[in-house]
Amino acid sequence: MISENYKMKKTLSAKTILRRKGEAAKPTRLAGIFPAASFLFLVTTSFAQTSIILQADNGKEKINKNIYGHFAEHLGHCIYGGFYVGDTSLIPNSNGVRNDIIEALKKLKIPTLRWPGGCFADTYHWKDGIGPKNKRPVIVNRWWGGVTEDNSFGTHDFLDLCEKIGAEPYLAANVGSGTVQELEDWVQYVNFDGTSPMSKLRKENGREKPWNVKMWGVGNEAWGCGGNMKPEHYADVYRQYATFMTDWTNSDHLFRVASGANVDDYHWTEVMMRDIPRNMLEGVALHHYSFVEWNNKGSATDFTEQQYFATMKTAWRMNELVTRHSTIMDRYDPEKRTALVVDEWGGWYNVEPGTNPGFLYQQNTMRDAMIAGVTLNIFNNHCDRVRAANLAQTVNVLQAVILTNKEKMILTPTYHVMEMYNVHQDATLIPLTIAGSDYILGDQKLPAISASASKDKNGAVHVSLVNIDAGKSQDVTIDIRGAKYTAISGRILASAKLQDYNSFDTPDKIKPAPFKNFKKTDSQVSVTLPPFSVVVLELK
């Protein structure tokens, strides 16, 4: 049903001025209502009301920091021309990895980094990427653009990069075209501290001590590019590979992640949980992307409000997917020993004009900030089961946090959201309930407000709020129960247009700013969120 407010706006003439008592009219472009209009209507800023109840004394679950992980695949200019420029480059680098990217990712507090794929993982043979660089074989990246690469970025380069940025590595193993022996050798190469053929080889290649990699993906998208397998077959393959992934450290067990479902393939999750013993399965993956339409993804920057709404609908669907996959997992694993690992998520659009279609290079707008804020809130609120996730991808691919152009580098709106949200890492989730208005477009609606909250080890509470509505501000009242706080501060990410982005000419067009539009009265905090904005509050 079309809202009365929408019907009213449809009847406005160009000279109409609406006012609430004591409120001045503001010029607003009604692009979502009159898509072809190039003139301004004078209307009042429209507000909607949302209430949140925060149970500040009722937190139990920890928000695992690994929810804030990232993904770096050999795809387009993510690795070569992104992270890695080579040690002869004039761009300042450390062993070939850009120093500016290292510093940016350290500030982001990336907890995990997944590599080398993605689809690339099931064609990658790790021994091609070790030893003297001038003796490594040239290979063809058959999945992404058909380009050749020289394997100059390999296991040592990646694991050393993870040490530099303070991230745990998440290695994706080749199951599709590899062997059990190949994976067993890789585990031994990176993890074994004693005398063995692979540890000897590692030392010969310049690394004395092992890296002790705990997190391993046993193949990728086995239902598709990883082998087009049926779930029953892959479950047996997984059991075989997992059996030979010895924990060489004899301390903490390896964290093995099964290739999981494509979006809503609930049968796949059912089979993984039914056919793989709990002591062999630390995580089950899930992949889901946000887009306008799968076969018509549209431009990353030139999109209508209708396309924005469609994209946010798929982003919000993550809540349904996580809930339903978790319900299946709960039946087999009520103790929640196996994690749901959403190791690919993010916005997916058409590539930028003039770029290689196989490189998946796209710009990053305020729409992507909305996707990031909503998705991370969903993960936080499901942290009892979602204990790891990886945004796709870190540099120059899909919903990247960093874009590069030769010596230039920019941070995207998505980067800024994840930096604002890193206060939730390893904090205690605070349960909350939301009752409020919807974002309505035509006869469709979505929840306008997304939120999550946590308490850190020092007792500070952080509340992350997202208003996805493209046209309305939201008055949000937060009712704090079970605790009292005397100080409040905030940061906001907002811009004039949904389509705004940071370019190499204007790299700081969108960045966090102090947020002051709140009032505290006793046990309540009142906040006004502008349209399509992200706010993080701190209460002490």
Q: What is the pLDDT of residues 145-157, one digit of tens each?
A: 999 999 999 999 9
346 close to 392: Cβ distance less than 8 angstroms: yes
206: Cα within 13 Å, side-chain hemisphere:
9
Domain at 304, CATH number: 3.20.20.80
Could you list the beta-strand ranges (E) of 129-234: 139-140, 148-149, 168-173, 215-218
Residues 169 and 41 in one domain: no
Residues 54 and 133 in one domain: no
- In the predicted structure, residue 43 carries a pLDDT above the cut 50: no
- Other Cβ atoms less than 10 A from the Cβ of 33: the count is 16
158 closest CA partner among 120, 200, 196, 107:
120
227 close to 180: Cβ distance less than 8 angstroms: no
- In the predicted structure, residue 448 carries a pLDDT above the cut 60: yes
452 close to 424: Cβ distance less than 8 angstroms: yes
Residues 163 and 238 in one domain: yes
Could you list the beta-strand ranges (E) of 100-166: 112-115, 139-140, 148-149
- Other Cβ atoms less than 10 A from the Cβ of 264: the count is 15
Which one is predicted more confidently, 145 or 106?
Answer: 106
Q: Which pLDDT value is given to residue 436?
A: 86
pLDDT bracket for residue 42 (50, 70, 90): very low
Which of 426, 461, 479 corresponds to the end of one domain? 426
Q: Which pLDDT value is given to residue 521?
A: 87
Overall domain count for the chain: 3
Q: Which pLDDT value is given to residue 39?
A: 26
Q: What is the mean pLDDT of residues 360-369?
A: 98
Residues 358 and 379 in one domain: yes
- In the predicted structure, residue 10 carries a pLDDT above the cut 50: no
Q: What is the mean pLDDT of residues 204-233?
A: 97
Report CA Rg, the chain.
24
Name residues whose C-beta falls within 8 Å of residue 51's C-beta, 6 or more positions apart in sequence.
Answer: 434, 435, 436, 476, 477, 478, 479
Q: For this structure, is 538 an active site residue?
A: no
The token pair at 480 is 């704090």
- Other Cβ atoms less than 10 A from the Cβ of 401: the count is 27
Q: For this structure, is 204 an active site residue?
A: no
What percent of the chain is predicted at pLDDT more than 90? 87
Residues 149 and 213 in one domain: yes
Say if residue 53 is exposed, middle or buried (CB neighbours under 10 Å; 0-12, 13-18, 19+): middle
Residues 124 and 186 in one domain: yes
User: Which ranges in 231-304 belong to alpha helices (H)?
Assistant: 231-243, 266-275
Per-residue model confidence as pLDDT tens digits over 231-280: 999 999 999 999 999 766 554 589 999 999 999 999 999 999 999 999 99
Which of 395, 426, 457 corresponds to the end of one domain? 426
- In the predicted structure, residue 6 carries a pLDDT above the cut 80: no
Which of 426, 456, 486 corresponds to the end of one domain? 426
List the domain range (segments joined by +) for residue 22: 1-45
Residues 144 and 81 in one domain: yes
- In the predicted structure, residue 26 carries a pLDDT above the cut 70: no
Q: Which pLDDT value is given to residue 503?
A: 98
- In the predicted structure, residue 171 carries a pLDDT above the cut 80: yes
Q: Could you report how far apart the first and last alpha carbons of the chain are, in Å?
A: 43
Per-residue model confidence as pLDDT tens digits over 276-328: 999 999 999 999 999 999 999 999 999 999 999 999 999 999 999 999 999 99
Q: Which pLDDT value is given to residue 47?
A: 72
Domain at 521, CATH number: 2.60.40.1180
Dist CA 429 CA 287 (whole Å): 24
Q: What is the mean pLDDT of residues 133-139?
A: 96
Residues 79 and 213 in one domain: yes
Residues 17 and 109 in one domain: no
272: Cα within 13 Å, side-chain hemisphere:
32
Mean pLDDT of the chain: 91
Mapping DSSP to helix (H, G, I), strand (E, B) and coil, where does residue 86 land? coil
279 close to 293: Cβ distance less than 8 angstroms: no
Q: What is the mean pLDDT of residues 374-400?
A: 98
97 close to 419: Cβ distance less than 8 angstroms: no
- In the predicted structure, residue 354 carries a pLDDT above the cut 90: yes
How wide is the angle at C-alpha 441 spanned by C-alphas 310 and 516, nearest 5°?
A: 90
* DSSP character at residue 34: S
Which one is predicted more confidently, 512 or 30?
Answer: 512
* DSSP string for residues in 182-204: HHHHHHHHHH--SS-HHHHHHHH
Q: Which of 61, 168, 282, 344 is catalytic?
A: 344
The token pair at 518 is 């709140």
Which one is predicted more confidently, 23 or 436?
Answer: 436
Residues 343 and 434 in one domain: no
Q: Which of 168, 221, 282, 419 is catalytic?
A: 221
394 close to 72: Cβ distance less than 8 angstroms: yes
426 close to 68: Cβ distance less than 8 angstroms: no
- In the predicted structure, residue 502 carries a pLDDT above the cut 80: yes
What percent of the chain is predicted at pLDDT more than 70? 90
Residues 187 and 242 in one domain: yes
Residues 41 and 82 in one domain: no
Q: Which pLDDT value is given to residue 48?
A: 74
212 close to 191: Cβ distance less than 8 angstroms: yes
Q: Which pLDDT value is given to residue 46?
A: 64
Q: Which pLDDT value is given to residue 30?
A: 30
- In the predicted structure, residue 136 carries a pLDDT above the cut 80: yes
Dist CA 431 CA 437 (whole Å): 20
